[in-house]
Amino acid sequence: LGDINIKLTKAEAESQPLKIIPGVDIRRSLKVTVEPNSEACWLFVKAEETNWPDFTDANGTARKVSYSVAAGDNGWKALENVPGVYYREVSAEDAKAGIAYYVLAGSAEHLNGVVTVSRELTKTEVNSLAGTQPKLTFTAYAVQREGIDDAAAAWAAAEN
C-alpha cells in the first residue's frame, strides 16, 4: 500500500535444496530491500514453516533445527499476538535512499543469516524427515507509514 517498492531476495548460491546435517549450520542470506524513492513504511516479514522439524534438545527447551529473525535495537520486532510476523518502521529518509534489511540472525561464520542445526540431531531424527521436505517460507509486505500509527494497524491493512 502506498508508493513503496520492495524486493525479497536470497544469495544466488543459496538457491539449491538444503541438506540437514547434524552440527552443520545452513547459510541463508535472506534480505528485504526497500527500493530507492519509496516512501516511509511499515515493513513486515512473515515466516511460515511447512513440515519443519520440531525435535528438541535433551532439556526439551531448544529446537535442534532452528532459526531466529534478526532482532535487537535496530532489528525486526515480533508483532504481538501474530505468531511468525515481524516488523520494522522504515523512515522517509531510508525509504528514499533505499535500504536492505537482513531477515535471519547470523552466526560467527555466517553473519547475514543462518539456520542452526544442533550436533544433538540424531540419524533417526534425520531419517524421519525423508519424504517430508521441510520448508521455511518468508513473505515480505510493506504498508505506507503516513496515516498509520502502529504496526498492528499496518498489518491489518496489509492483510486486506
| Per-residue pLDDT reduced to its tens digit, 124-146 | 998 898 888 888 899 999 999 99
- pLDDT higher than 80, residue 17: no
| Per-residue pLDDT reduced to its tens digit, 93-124 | 999 999 999 999 998 888 889 999 999 999 99
Residue tagged 515481524 (cell numbers) = 86
Taking the whole predicted model, whether its pTM rises above 0.75 is answered as yes
Q: Is the dihedral of CA 88, 94, 96, 101 positive or negative?
A: negative
If DSSP codes are grouped into helix, strand and coil, which group holds residue 156? Answer: helix
CA distance 45 to 43: 7
| Per-residue pLDDT reduced to its tens digit, 18-54 | 788 899 898 888 999 999 999 999 999 999 999 888 8
